[in-house]
Structure 1
Amino acid sequence: MALLDHPTLNLRNLPRTLAARVPHKVLRDRWNRLRFGPSAPLSDECIFVSPLDVRHIYLARRNSAASTFKRRHSGLVIGGDWDQSRSPLPETRATRAIYDRFVRGMSWAETGVLDYHLAIISEKGISEGARTLQEVLARYEALDRVYEEALRTGRLRPRYELPAHFRREHGGIFFHIARDGEPLRSGGGRHRFAIARILGLASVPAQLGVIHPDAVRDGHLERLRSPG
């Protein structure tokens, strides 16, 4: 792919490029390389996580060192005790819906997720990008295809293999990395993560979030870069 053909440089993607803070991330990558050398963390880079080994979510707190970290913060190396703010991996609405759909064999309507989104659309006009029942259904039908492919192949595809690829693993299942190398779940990709756990996949591609400098210095990032 020629440089000017890269999705982040396409004029049609300019709003998305700016929203994802890609120019900031390019500078962040250069600063990380100065600090940590050739193996420095990259913003939006792909790491590999064993879904069945994930035990905690990152718990952002107001007025503390545990800030709210979003995809735009991907690749930030932050010291301190933010990574100690964690909570046991919970059962979520997405987890229950995926279980009901693919283990219990319920329809998406029977899981309750359609009514959930329609109620939000009725109140706010939009729910997670969908404005109509048809758009909500299309989203969940896409998850049917993700599940069927993962069941058949034993893997989830990294973002660069998908038609909507934007930048590295941007948009993937999202994890922050604690000082001891433990991946902490933090929003983003919750349905795909639930599918991976139900299928017992050995590892899944994920988007790097914020990482503790100890995890970089102690080689945990290098370990997570390997699909295992």
Structure 2
Amino acid sequence: MSFRTAYNALATPFVLGKLALRGRRRDRAAALTHGVEGPRYCERIWVRLDEVREESLTRGAKTAVVMGGDWYKNARPLTDNPKIAYCLRHWRDGLTWDETGAIDYTMGQISDNVVYDHLTTKAQVLRRFATLDRIFEQVRRENRIRPVREYRFLRYREQGGLMFHIGPDGRPMFAGGGHHRVGMALSLGLREVPAMVLLAHPNGLWALPRLRQPVGTEAAPLIQES
């Protein structure tokens, strides 16, 4: 047994127990304020990709925060995100990573920030993109993006997964976590991805019960009932 395996075996009950306790407290507070439609701590939702139009540029939010105002207006079209754009050019259109501009983009970020996505050298960047290609082939074979607890230890619910906000119209807005996995899903035409809710606009809470269900388990349209 490796050290990491032994550590995970010992640490998992403690870490997950602590997160579960925090989650129950947060869930009770949300239920008292917002009822059953309130977002839950690190909860998993199922985002229908054909309903996602924008990436929210509002960053720094914690999970399951209900916030009014016009934060959702700070947004851009999803495919204007440079990471998602180069993923589509590579996996959907068949260009090499170099031809997509991904290598230059990443090296530019490293030049500006010294460390970017835990990368500091071109060799590391090339290894990262080779790893992404291997993950893409796995996603292609399985025809899905895995929920986070299937591939990471010490995660509670969908903690560490793709991150989305819920706008006032009930539509999920990409919130900046998991660009490459979103790019994989879009390139393969997947119907849905598992994700974690960050911000939720109070006018959009009505959509959460629907988003908690995977595609095929219900057929409610994305239209708010009057």
Instruction: Please report the TM-score for the alignment, with normalisation by the length of structure 2.
Output: 0.76
1:179 is the counterpart of 2:168: yes
* Alignment partners' CA distance in 1, 2:74 and 2:22: 26
Moved more, 200-209 or 33-42: 33-42
In structure 2, what is the equivalent of residue 32 of structure 1? 30
Aligned to 2:208: 221
Q: Is this contact kept in 1: 2:162–2:178, CA < 8 A?
A: yes
Residue in structure 1 matching 2:115, options 126, 136, 151: 126
Structure 1 residues 191 and 165, CA gap change in structure 2 (3 angstroms): farther
Structure 1 residue 124 displacement after superposition: 3.5
Q: Which moved more, 1:84-93 or 1:131-140?
A: 84-93
Superposition RMSD on alpha carbons, in Å? Answer: 3.1
**Among 2, 12, 17, which residue is 1:5 paired with?**
12
Structure 1 residues 185 and 77: CA distance shift in structure 2, 3 A: same
* 2:150 paired residue among 161, 166, 173: 161
| Preserved contact between residue 52 and residue 200 of structure 1 (Cα < 8 Å) | no
> Which structure 2 residues correspond to residues 2-151 of structure 1 after superposition, within 5 A?
5-6=12-13, 8=15, 27-37=25-35, 40-59=38-57, 68-70=58-60, 72-151=61-140
Q: Cα offset for 1:24?
A: 7.3
- The alignment-based identity, stated in percent, is 36
Q: Deviation per CA, 1:4-30, whole angstroms, max 9, x where unpaired?
A: 6247469xxxxxx9xxxx997665333
CA contact (8 A) 2:64 2:197 kept: yes
Between 1:139-148 and 1:198-207, the stretch displaced more is 139-148
After the TM superposition, list the runs of 4 or more consecutive aligned residues in structure 1 that deviate by more than 6 angstroms: 22-26
Per-residue CA distance 1:40-99 (angstroms, 9 max, x = gap):
42122111111122112324xxxxxxxx342x5110112334335544334232233212
- Unaligned 5+ runs, structure 1: 11-16, 60-67
Cα gap change, 1:119 to 1:184, in 2 (>3 Å): closer
Please point out which of 174, 188, 192 is paired with 2:181. 192
1:95 maps to a residue whose letter is I
Q: Using a 3 Å threshold, how does the CA distance of structure 1 residues 35 and 86 change in structure 2: closer, same or farther?
A: same
Q: For the Cα contact (< 8 Å) 1:44–1:74, is it kept in 2? A: yes
Structure 1 length-normalised TM: 0.76
The residue type equivalent to 1:44 in the other structure is: C
Q: 1:224 corresponds to which letter in structure 2? A: L
* Contact 1:28-1:76 at 8 Å conserved across structures: no
For 2:176, what is the secondary structure of its paired residue? coil
Equivalent pair of 1:181/1:215 in contact (CA under 8 Å): yes
CA drift of 1:160 comes to 0.8
The reply to whether residue 207 of structure 1 matches residue 196 of structure 2 is yes
Provide, for residues 148-171 of structure 1, a one-character-per-residue CA deviation record: whole Å limited to 9, x for no partner. 122112110010111355332222
Going from structure 1 to structure 2, the CA distance change for 1:5 and 1:89 (only over 3 Å counts) comes to: closer
**How many residues are aligned here?**
208
